[in-house]
Amino acid sequence: MTELAGLLPPVSLRRGLSYWLGSYRALTRWHLAGLRMWLMLLTVVQVMTGAGFVLGFALFFDHIPASAALFVSTGVPVINLVVVGLVLGPQLVAQQKLQQSYDFVRALPVPQSAAAVAWYTVCLLAGLPAVAASLLIAEARYGIAFTVSPAIVPAVLLTAFTGTMLGYGLGHAVPNPMVTTLVTELMIFAVFGFAPVVYPPWQLPSWLATLNWWFPFGHMAVIVRAGLTSGMVTGIASSYVTVTAWGIIGVAVSAWALVRRG
Amino acid sequence: MSTASPLPLSTVTRSGPGYWLASLGSMTRFEMGRARQWAALMVVIQILMGAGIAVMYGFFYPRVTHLTALYLTTGTPALALIPIGFVLVPDSVSQEKLAGTFDFTWSLPAPRSAQAAATFLLFTTLSLPGAVLALAVASWRYGVRLDISPLIVPGTVLCALMAISVGFGMALAISNPLLINLITNALMFVVLLFSPIVIPPGHFPGWLLTADRALPFYNMAEVIRAGLCTGLVTDLTRSYLILAAWTAAGWAMTAWVVGRRK
């Protein structure tokens, strides 16, 4: 009778904190291994686009005004932080759907929350080197002395979180991979040019500035800017609220998409 | 009991200018049939890339002066043509290579030079309406009065033809689709940030401007600008010559790949 024990399914509990942490570690490793070659290339591309944008922005002006230089230098890190989670993330999920590996990944015996937090960790890791590079290059090129305050830590964590979760929700909730790709392409266009991230909101037509007040990207720039400069931005509290609210929307959409049965 | 004589082979001569022109006609129809799927999308991309970027770059300035607005508006057609030639054409060629359509087309009983000419003819014609629309949107946005001269016609046609020839030649000459993707992305980055297309060239450091004078993008903008306003463009002949040289280079690359056996 005792031989039967070997045939029974394992009885380890699939819940509890240690199971969650184990899943989190396993999935972080899973993502890093899945991206391995990519991650290096991605970091290089991110650093180059960040540096390119910081340097290229000066070419728009005969002599770049100090305020414009400060805005672009503190805005490009925001783009570095969100681009992986917001653009690459949904495109990877779309690719999984096309290659039919999506159902397999969904079926892994891990809590969905651990999977989401693992992906957030990877996006944050992929964004941080570029943030540092953009800031250093801005300092060298424009001679800006940033006054970094502890507020930069929650700002960076929250900005990356909201960007990643919005992308996560988009990737999982939209069934058609083509639509996902199209939306992400449009989004990067909007974040770069039509949201007050690399320039102040008063340079936009007032209707567009008002519209942007409801969206998270301008507010992400406000909170990151608040951690890098002093006395430059106001209304920091409401910006935190808006970015957090969008983060919660991202989590809610992701949860809805992942929990329902296909 | 006579055996049936073998079926006669076709006696049509597959050479001579008459046959070449007939092939050009049928290949253009063939390509046009395929273009129906994406021709509308192409115009949308052109409006986004041309007018969208011209509008977006306007937000970067604290104050848009008349000169800035003039540069932004007159650079728009070049911005609308560049992604067609340097992104869409190479992408579609590499997709056709992957799908095997490319080998099929080459196996058709039409001279390959006629096939390539049909592609150039069709794409050049299709890319023009989008460029005009993008210009219309930009000039409406900035309220710039344009001083249109007949020079605009040869200028725009040469630019479209050059972009498509170089894009097609590049896509044929480079067999790895990933490398083509990398090159097209890097080129777009150069075009959007480091080429004086919608920015006055006076803002550029000398070494960068020298590089841009040899590349096609700045010269495209100059040739089109000369047809839209007076007084901004100098050394137009040089720009025409450089564009003609790039067109010839695109044709040479195409001829080299098309002429050799696999």
Residue B4 has pLDDT above 70, yes or no: no
Interface pTM, i.e. ipTM: 0.80
Which tops the pLDDT comparison, A141 or A7? A141
Taking residues A142-148, report their average pLDDT: 90
On chain B, the residues whose CB falls within 8 A of the CB of A204 are 59
Taking an 8 Å cut-off on Cβ atoms, the answer to whether A192 and B202 are in contact is: no
Taking an 8 Å cut-off on Cβ atoms, the answer to whether A199 and B59 are in contact is: yes
Tokens 């115009």: give the residue.
Answer: B43
User: Which of B62, B194, B196 lies closest to A68 in CB terms?
Assistant: B62
Query: Nearest residue on chain A to B197, judged by CA atoms?
Result: A60
Shortest Cα–Cα distance, A69 to chain B (Å): 11
Taking an 8 Å cut-off on Cβ atoms, the answer to whether B189 and A68 are in contact is: no
> What is the spatial distance between Cα B262 and Cα B260, in angstroms, rounded to a whole number?
7
Taking an 8 Å cut-off on Cβ atoms, the answer to whether A49 and B199 are in contact is: no
> What is the spatial distance between Cα A221 and Cα A199, in angstroms, rounded to a whole number?
10
Which amino acid is residue A4, in one-letter code?
L
pTM of structure = 0.83
Q: Which range marks the domain in which residue B209 is found? A: 49-259
User: Which of B55, B189, B199 lies closest to A60 in CB terms?
Assistant: B199
Residue A205 has pLDDT above 80, yes or no: yes
Residue A14: CB atoms within 10 A of its CB come to 11
> What is the spatial distance between Cα A92 and Cα A95, in angstroms, rounded to a whole number?
5
Taking an 8 Å cut-off on Cβ atoms, the answer to whether A62 and B202 are in contact is: yes
On chain A, the residues whose CB falls within 8 A of the CB of B200 are 62
Residue B27 lies in a domain: no
What's residue B12's pLDDT? 66
B132-186 tens-digit pLDDT: 989 999 999 998 888 899 989 999 999 999 999 999 999 989 888 888 888 888 8
What's residue A3's pLDDT? 62
What's residue B157's pLDDT? 92
Angle at Cα A46 formed by Cα A119 and Cα A140, nearest 5°? 130
Interface size between A and B, measured as CB pairs under 8 A: 49
What's residue B5's pLDDT? 61
Residue B178 lies in a domain: yes
Query: Nearest residue on chain A to B201, judged by CA atoms?
Result: A59
Chain B residues with CB within 8 Å of chain A CB:
48, 52-53, 55-57, 59-62, 189, 193-194, 196, 199-200, 202-204
Shortest Cα–Cα distance, B185 to chain A (Å): 11
User: Which of A59, A67, A193 lies closest to B59 in CB terms?
Assistant: A193
Domain count, chain B: 1
**Of A81-85, A142-146, A158-162, B69-73, highest mean pLDDT:** A158-162
Residue A12 has pLDDT above 80, yes or no: no
Residue B44 lies in a domain: no
Assign B190 a pLDDT band (cuts: 50, 70, 90).
confident
B26-75 tens-digit pLDDT: 999 998 888 887 788 888 888 888 888 888 889 999 888 999 999 999 99
Tokens 């931005």: give the residue.
Answer: A233
Residue B260 has pLDDT above 90, yes or no: no
Residue B133 lies in a domain: yes
> What is the spatial distance between Cα A191 and Cα A208, in angstroms, rounded to a whole number?
13
Residue B68 lies in a domain: yes
Domain layout of chain A by residue ranges: 38-259
On chain B, the residues whose CB falls within 8 A of the CB of A57 are 60, 193
User: Which of A61, A65, A194 lies closest to B56 in CB terms?
Assistant: A194
Taking an 8 Å cut-off on Cβ atoms, the answer to whether B203 and A59 are in contact is: yes
Residue B124 lies in a domain: yes
Taking an 8 Å cut-off on Cβ atoms, the answer to whether B199 and A59 are in contact is: yes
Taking an 8 Å cut-off on Cβ atoms, the answer to whether B189 and A189 are in contact is: no
On chain A, the residues whose CB falls within 8 A of the CB of B48 are 189
Residue B105 lies in a domain: yes
Residue B14 lies in a domain: no
What's residue B99's pLDDT? 83
What's residue A153's pLDDT? 95
Taking an 8 Å cut-off on Cβ atoms, the answer to whether A60 and B57 are in contact is: yes
What's residue B106's pLDDT? 84
> What is the spatial distance between Cα B262 and Cα B257, in angstroms, rounded to a whole number?
9
User: Which of A52, A61, A68 lies closest to B189 in CB terms?
Assistant: A52
Mapping DSSP onto H, E and C, the string for chain A reads CHHHHHHCCCCCCCCCHHHHHHHHHHHHHHHHHHHHHHHHHHHHHHHHHHHHHHHHHHHHCCCCCHHHHHHHHHHHHHHHHHHHHHHHHHHHHHHHHHHCCHHHHHCCCCCHHHHHHHHHHHHHHHHHHHHHHHHHHHHHHHCCCCCCCCCHHHHHHHHHHHHHHHHHHHHHHCCCHHHHHHHHHHHHHHHHHHCCCCCCHHHCCHHHHHHHHCCHHHHHHHHHHHHHCCCCCCCHHHHHHHHHHHHHHHHHHHHHHHHCCC
Query: Nearest residue on chain B to A201, judged by CA atoms?
Result: B59
Taking an 8 Å cut-off on Cβ atoms, the answer to whether A65 and B199 are in contact is: no
